[in-house]
A and B are shown apart, each in its own frame.
Chain A
Amino acid sequence: MNITGSCVNGILTLRFAGELDHHFAREALAALTERIDAFLPRVCVLDLRELTFMDSSGIALILRAEREMRTLRGKLILENVPEQPLRVLRAAGLQQMAEIRQ
């Protein structure tokens, strides 16, 4: 699991690569909250193009991101979601909580 990110004009983009499961969940959560705290963005984009696997640990992470962005009155966008993570998101009904851009 690897997370890289940049913030331009209030839009924080975080790119996730690899497998997101419970093993990496704590590290991923810390990376997410640390960057949101650092930049206080208007929009947070999670680019999942290179995410090769995600289980319900990803749901917890996205719910957290959504909560963090709500406290900033900002917006969460999920981008380039591969098929397997998308099925997990749909199973959890998360497609209603965040905008998904393919």
Chain B
Amino acid sequence: MKVNNEARVEFPGLSANEGFARSIAACFAAQLDPTLEELGDLKTAVSEAVTNCIVHAYPNEAGRVSLRLRILEGDVLEVRIRDWGTGILDVERAREPLFTTGGEERSGMGFSIMECFMDSLRVRSAPGKGTVVTMRKRISGKAGR
């Protein structure tokens, strides 16, 4: 698939960077002139994925998180969020609604929301090596392309 534009940013897995990551994603997506709804969906999905890195991948340290944003042909925005943390033992189970190994402030709805708000979601993970979450969403934009 042809890549029309790309940006990468890396940051430590600190909860203060959840807002930073979704703002960066929204700024990058702005060139596709998204609707407010599309922007809200994108920010929510990014927030969930980055929170997973902070809560689950690096429970005891602020490890490295990588965010790659690409614009693919056909006005498709691709978001890839990667960590090198603990990894997920059972990805299928982790993607089930309401399943969580987090504390009382977690709902277990993170992956469900990513799936619901983006067109596609792929999760690759290996215990001890880390996790790569790739999501795509076609941006129809305010002009309704």
Bind each other: yes
Q: Which residues of A contact B (CB under 8 A)?
A: 19, 21-23, 25-26, 29, 53, 55-57, 59-61, 63-64, 83-84, 87-88, 91-92
Inter-chain contact A22/B54, CB cutoff 8 Å: yes
List 8 additional A-B contacts (Cβ < 8 Å) besides A22-B15, A56-B106, A87-B44. A21-B19, A21-B47, A22-B47, A23-B16, A56-B48, A59-B109, A91-B116, A92-B113
In residues 37-67 of chain B, which contact A (Cβ within 8 Å)? 37, 40-41, 43-44, 47-48, 51, 54-55
Q: How far is the CB of A43 from chain B (nearest CB, A)?
A: 23
Query: Given A29-B104, A84-B44, A87-B41, A92–B51 Cβ distance below 8 Å?
Result: no
A53-B110 contact given A23-B15, A25-B105, CB 8 Å threshold: no
Contacts of A29 in B (CB 8 A): 104-105
User: Are B104 and A56 interface neighbours, CB within 8 A?
Assistant: no
Cα-based distance from A88 to B110 in the complex (angstroms)? 10
CB distance A92 to B105 under 8 Å? no
State how many angstroms separate the Cβ of A89 from the closest Cβ of chain B: 10
**Which 3 pairs from chain A and chain B are nearest by CB?**
A84-B40, A23-B15, A60-B107
Given contacts A23-B15, A25-B105, A92-B107, contact A57 B40 (CB under 8 A): no
Interfacial chain B residues near A91, Cβ < 8 Å: 109, 112-113, 116-117
Seen from chain B, the residues whose Cβ lies within 8 Å of a Cβ on chain A are: 15-16, 18-19, 22, 36-37, 40-41, 43-44, 47-48, 51, 54-55, 104-107, 109-110, 112-113, 116-117
> Are A57 and B104 CB-contacts (below 8 A) given A22-B18, A84-B40?
no
Which listed residue, B19, B105, B117, touches A19 by the CB 8 Å rule?
A: B19
Residue of A nearest to B14 (CB): A23
Q: Contact between B48 and A23 (Cβ–Cβ < 8 Å)?
A: no
What's the nearest-Cβ distance from chain A to residue B36, in Å? 7
Q: Which A residues are in CB contact (< 8 Å) with B47? A: 21-22, 53, 55
Q: How far is the CA of A26 from the CA of B15 in the complex (A)?
A: 11
Assess the B105–A26 pair: CB atoms within 8 A: yes
Residues of A within 8 A of B113 (CB): 55-56, 88, 91-92
